Amino acid sequence: MTPWHQKSVKTILAQVRSSVAGLSKKEAAKRLLADGPNALKELPPVRPWQLLVGQFKNVIIWILIAASVISGALGELVDAITILLIVLLNAAIGFYQELSAAQSIAALLKLTAPQARVRREGHVTEVPATEIVVGDVLLLEAGDLVAADARLLKTASLKVIESALTGESVAVPKQPEILQQEDVPLAERENIVFQGTSVAAGTGQAVVVATEMQTELGHIAELLEETEINKDTPLQQKLDAFGRILIWAALGIVALLFVLGLLRGTKILELTLTSVSLAVAAVPEGLPTVVTVALSLGVLRMSRRNALVRKLAAVETLGSVSVICTDKTGTLTRGEMTVRELFVAGQRYEVTGGGYSPEGEIQLAGKRAQDSHTAPLLTLATNLLGCNSAHLSEEAGLWKTIGDPTEGALLVAGTKAGGNREALEKEQPKYRELPFDANRKRSAVIRTQADGSFRALVNGAPGQLLQRCTQLYTATGIVPLNDDMRDSLLEQVAVMAQAALRVLGSAYRDLASDTPESQLTPDGIERELVFVGLTGMVDPPRPEAKDAIARCHAAGIRVVMITGDNAHTANAIAQELGIATKSTAALTGTELDALTEEQLQQRTPTIAVYARVTAAHKLRIIHALRASGAIVAMTGDGVNDAPAIKHADIGIAMGKTGTEVTKQAADMIITDDNFATIVAAVEEGRGIYDNIRKTLEYLLAGNAGELLLMTACVIVGLPSPLLPIHLLWINLVTDGLPALCLAIDPIDSDVMKRPPRHPFEKIIDRSFLRTMLLNGFLTAGVTFTEYLYILRTETPEVARTHAFTVLVFAELLRSFGARRESKPLWEIPFFSNRNLVLVVTLSLGLQLWSQHNDFLSRFLKTESVSFLDSFFLLLIATIPLVILEVVKVIRSAK
Ligand code: ADP
Ligand code: MG
């Protein structure tokens, strides 16, 4: 078979039964069904039965089932059934929780999966990359991931990075011409683009020849990275390890008690059942579930606030972020530009009107200027309209930009200044486009003039543009540009920028009709230009940004602005938003280049604004910040931002303006490009961590209490205060359900009022252990006292009922205090966690009911307790809660 690169476009299109207009939607759907999705590795689907089976992989469950069988064999039928029921109920709850967690993660994965642009039925549509089929026509541009292997039909300065396939990190040029040789190595197949590679520059169209495992990347698919959202996070791993230690510790203690019981002559059967249930009570088998639930429901909550997490581990890191590096345009600002000033031929004009509506005029000293300054204004307008690929659209009087907002604003200004885009397109058709790129900070369009010669129109950052100009357009003709003129123009730029205007320069160059193709590149044409003028636009800050920044500062998080824009503009906006003060200066890319790593590292803590930087600078800034110990979140949108995003602790991609490459490199995607969303995500991250910690504390304290109580009684030689059935009940009702409610506790308003958590901080630290043990001792203490007290005058059954009730009450009540580590109960909005209130109320009710309902009391082996006694039990059960709250107050007063 002839390889793809050796075939003509026509042959290939025929072979894959497609055309330049693409497949029909019906045909694409048919092929997708026939060939399967275009995915190298199928994401593991959520298989409910596997989760269900997983519930029974727990040793504890089997110990319990054995206990149930033993009880049954000995004729204790009620016990046997109860234990079995509890086991099943426990498994059902665990199953349900894990299923919903897995489903929310799967839904999230779909949201963040790569997309591709294809032409179908002649229309461009965006589809998930997994739905690409052989014969689809792919449209490629800078920042895209190539979704399948495809033969190029058309290219414009297309360059692709193929490191995923060939290891070569330098972008290679691509072109559609047929190759003659048969044995061309992958790296030299210039007319094919491969799946998994990314577009570095230019544009192209290609017809898909292979998908999924048939692609070149498919052949080496084992080397691919796994999706990371399914991986356990560091915290989960640590807790798993910790849980295993606890299991052994608990089993050890249980074995000890067993031996002790034997020595005291307790019946083996009773002892076995007690030990088994004690083991169940002591082992925090709900721990992994609770952590998973807290993480995945937290992630779901974040997605509702427009932050899509791509790596679960990011949730933990978010809570310790200490520096947020953010873009300016569109993130801190609205990204809705309006040109306010024009400067051409030595004259500064004002532009009236607002938004993207083309209504408005150019004024000089408050008077309409189009009619008297027609020539210079039209020259500038030609640049603004001609070097532009945006479009305006109107809907019910509301004007919008399709494309780059900066270019949309230029379009509006050019129209107001008297330009006419349609006429321009007709008279000087577009010959070539050299689109804006963030490193060059310019865009250019080459147009064909009436006489066949070319004119290149260039817009871009004025400083760099002026460097490339040798002439100046004036009212009286074109003159050579000298240094004085350049300086005065730069002075003009600074004046406009200090007024927070985003300033663009415009220039052009005439080229002979026989200019060789090889010259029509950015470097080839963007020199010896004629400078025309300046355009200053406002991009108002987002109203919520200022507040979000203040919240960051309160939370001990520094906000750093990193922008490609002019230093003055950046500083003006940074001051307005409270990022910078009057005395702080911005560091520009050029200044940054002059610094060594050490110098940069020393200065980063005091720099709030980096201006005129490129992607490479971003990487240096990240390294410097991280070297100084900061945990850095960094935003990015362009292709070039991918490395910086990868190196940041939290890489954040823009959902709207971000490229596919950036999104796939990111830990998190913010769908509204809004700075406030990042802050919301940090808040959620902190809240999730808090929730995990409080749930752990609650669960472990409960276990400790039960263990201490039982141990004390065995040592003193009292009859067991809790029957196996009680321990199982406590494990399920008293611990399990409230713990789940704590895991999804609404976030405290205070989480953003304390400094970020230290990244090395352990989740189980000293203060955790202190609270947990105090908690356990207090619960065990009051229960033991009550038990002893009743045992003096009543039967063990009655005393047991009392002990059981006090313990359950105490643990249930304690859950309210567990919601906050240092805030006393009366400062926590009681009903903000409705689930918890509901669960605790129901459990309390059930407990009381079980003492009076024959059926339940048979299962739970409880004696009836008078109403007055129940009230009294409730009262003493509040003692641990009250003491713990007092301790909180004393501790926070210190
Ligand atoms: P940021 O997003 O950090 O504000 P950009 O990288 O978008 O910065 O832009 C940097 C500079 O490039 C701008 O200040 C402007 O001078 C210039 N620029 C931005 N967009 C365009 C464009 N579409 N065409 C020409 N020049 C542009
Ligand atoms: Mg930008």
pLDDT at position 527 is: 92
**CA–CA separation, 409 and 392 (whole Å):** 9
Which letter does DSSP use for residue 434 in this model?
E
The CA 564 to ligand 1 mean position distance, Å, reads 6
Question: Residue 662 CA: which ligand is closest?
Answer: 2
Domain 4-42+108-224 has CATH 2.70.150.10: yes
Q: Are strands 430-437 and 442-448 parallel, antiparallel or unpaired?
A: antiparallel
Q: Rounded to the nearest whole angstrom, what is the distance from the C-alpha of residue 616 to the centroid of ligand 2?
A: 15
pLDDT tops 90 at residue 491: yes
- In 481-555, DSSP assigns E strands to 502-511, 529-538
Assess whether pLDDT exceeds 50 at residue 261.
yes
Protein residue closest via CA to atom 10 of ligand 1: 564
Choice from 329, 388, 503, 538 to test ligand 1 binding pocket (greatest atom count within 8 A of CB):
329
Reply yes or no on domain 286-300+687-893 having CATH 1.20.1110.10: yes
- Among the atoms of ligand 1, which is closest to the Cα of residue 504? 16
Is 228 a residue whose pLDDT tops 60?
no
Closest ligand, as measured to the CA of 404: 1
Gap between the Cα atoms of 196 and 209, Å rounded: 14
**Considering only CA atoms, which residue is closest to atom 25 of ligand 1?**
460
pLDDT in tens, 522-566: 889 999 999 999 999 999 999 999 999 999 999 999 999 999 999
Proximal ligand: closest to the CA of 539: 1
Q: What are the angstrom distances between the C-alpha of 518 and each of 433, 515, 521, 524, 525?
A: 14, 8, 7, 8, 10
409 phi and psi, to 5 degrees? -65, -35
96 Cβ contact partners less than 8 Å away, ≥ 6 residues apart = none
Residue 160 pLDDT greater than 70, yes or no: yes
Report how far residue 723's alpha carbon sits from residue 731's, in angstroms, rounded to the nearest whole number: 13
Distance, in Å, from the CA atom of 298 to the CA atom of 291, rounded to the nearest integer, reads 10
Instruction: Tell me what pLDDT residue 835 has.
Output: 92
Calculate Rg over the CA atoms of the chain.
35
Which of 325, 336, 406 has most ligand 1 atoms within 8 Å of CB, for mutation? 406
Whether domain 307-333+543-673 has CATH 3.40.50.1000: yes
Angle at 86 between CA 81 and CA 92, to 5 degrees: 125
Q: Are strands 529-538 and 469-474 parallel, antiparallel or unpaired?
A: parallel
pLDDT tens digits, 22-36: 888 899 899 988 888
Residue 532, phi then psi, degrees to nearest 5? -105, -55
Dihedral sign for Cα 179, 180, 182, 185, please. negative
**Superfamily in which the 338-538 domain is placed by CATH:** Calcium-transporting ATPase, cytoplasmic domain N (3.40.1110.10)
Q: Report the candidate in 333, 322, 318 with the shortest Cα–Cα distance to residue 545.
A: 333
CA 630/CA 758 separation, integer angstroms = 10
The answer to whether 160 and 200 are in contact (CB under 8 A) is yes
Reported confidence tier of residue 102, pLDDT bands at 50, 70, 90: confident
What is the predicted pLDDT for the residue at 223? Answer: 46
Ligand nearest to the CA of 406: 1
DSSP state letter for 705: H
Model confidence at 285, pLDDT cuts 50, 70, 90, reads low
Cβ burial, residue 484 (10 Å; 0-12/13-18/19+):
exposed
* Interval 263-271 mean pLDDT: 79
Q: Kindly state the tokens that stand for 261.
A: 């019981």
Helix, strand or coil, per DSSP, at residue 227? coil
Judge contact between 564 and 613, C-beta under 8 A: yes
Residue type, 164: A
Residue 284: pLDDT band with limits 50, 70, 90? confident
Catalytic residue flag (residue 327): yes
Please give the number of the atom of ligand 1 that sits closest to the Cα of 438: 6
Give me ligand 1 centre to Cα 446, in Å.
19
CB 165 within 8 A of CB 186: yes
Our mutation pick for probing the ligand 1 site, out of 328, 339, 391, 436, counting the most ligand atoms within 8 A of Cβ, is 436
**Ligand lying closest to the C-alpha of residue 637:** 2
Q: Structural domain boundaries of the chain?
A: 4-42+108-224, 48-101, 286-300+687-893, 307-333+543-673, 338-538
Atom of ligand 1 nearest to the CA of 460: 26
288-310: buried (b, 16+ CB within 10 Å) or exposed (e) per residue? bbbbbbbbbbbbbbbbebbbbbb
Res 1: pLDDT: 67
Cα-based distances in Å from 127 to 105, 117, 184, 808: 21, 6, 32, 54
Residue 693 CB-half CA count within 13 A: 23
Q: What is the mean pLDDT of the chain?
A: 88
pLDDT of residue 225: 45
**What is the whole-number distance in angstroms between the Cα of residue 493 and the centre of ligand 1?**
15
How far is residue 590 CA from its own chain's centroid? 32
Find out whether 379 and 347 touch, Cβ atoms under 8 Å: no
pLDDT band at 216; cut points 50, 70, 90: confident
Atom of ligand 1 nearest to the CA of 505: 16
Give me ligand 1 centre to Cα 437, in Å. Answer: 8
Ligand 1: which of 326, 565, 566, 569 to mutate, most ligand atoms within 8 Å of CB? 565
Whether 764 shows a pLDDT value over 70: the answer reads yes
Query: Distance between CA 84 and CA 374 in Å, rounded?
Result: 91
751 band by pLDDT with thresholds 50, 70 and 90: very high
Return left, alpha or beta for 497; rule: phi > 0 is left, psi -120 to 50 is alpha, else beta: alpha
What separation in Å is there between the alpha carbon of 438 and the centre of ligand 2? 7
Centre of ligand 2 to C-alpha 673, Å, is 11
User: What does the alpha-carbon distance between residue 274 and residue 282 come to, in Å, rounded to a whole number?
Assistant: 12
Quick one: pLDDT at residue 792?
Answer: 93
Task: Name the DSSP class of 186.
Answer: G
pLDDT > 60? residue 43: no
> Which residue lies with its CA nearest to atom 13 of ligand 1?
565
Query: How many alpha carbons fall within 13 Å on the CB side of residue 340?
Result: 14
Least confident of 260-269, 383-392, 541-550: 260-269
Host H or E run for residue 138: strand 137-141
Report residue 326's pLDDT band, with 50, 70 and 90 as the boundaries: very high
What letter would DSSP give residue 129?
Answer: G
Residues with CB under 6 A from ligand 1: 327-329, 404, 406-407, 436, 438, 441-443, 459-461, 502, 504, 563-566
Residue 860 or 479, more confident? 479
pLDDT digits 0-9 by tens, 125-142: 888 888 899 999 999 988
Poorest-pLDDT segment among 473-477, 558-562, 719-723, 827-831 = 719-723
Portion of the chain with pLDDT greater than 90, in percent:
47
Quickly state the pLDDT bin for 462 (edges 50, 70, 90).
very high
Substitution candidate for ligand 1 out of 327, 441, 609 with most atoms within 8 A of CB: 441
Cα dist from 54 to 47, 49, 188, 273, 297, whole Å: 11, 8, 49, 25, 20
* pLDDT tens, position by position, 699-740: 999 989 998 998 888 888 888 898 878 887 887 777 788 988
Atom of ligand 1 nearest to the CA of 461: 16
pLDDT for residue 857: 84
* Rounded percentage of the chain residues whose pLDDT exceeds 70: 97
CA 163 to ligand 2 center in whole angstroms? 26
Q: Which ligand 1 atom is the nearest neighbour of the CA of 387? A: 24
Q: Say what the pLDDT of residue 665 is.
A: 86
Residue whose Cα lies nearest atom 16 of ligand 1: it is 461
Residue 565 Cα to ligand 2 midpoint, Å, equals 8
Asked if residue 788 has pLDDT above 90, the reply is yes
- The pLDDT of 91-100, averaged and rounded, is 80
Q: Which atom of ligand 1 is nearest to the CA of 503?
A: 16
pLDDT at 679: 96
Q: Whose CA is nearest to atom 24 of ligand 1?
A: 443
Residue with the bigger pLDDT between 642 and 282: it is 642
Q: Which of 322, 320, 238, 208 is nearest to 628 (CA)?
A: 322
Phi, psi at residue 16, to the nearest 5°? -90, 10
Q: Which of 79, 149, 327, 690 is catalytic?
A: 327
Confidence band of 44 (pLDDT split at 50, 70, 90): low
Backbone angles phi, psi at 325, to 5 degrees: -100, 120
Instruction: Examine the pLDDT at 46 and tell me if it is beyond 70.
Output: no
pLDDT computed for residue 820 by the predictor: 93
Q: Which of 189-203, 782-796, 833-847 has the lowest mean pLDDT?
A: 189-203
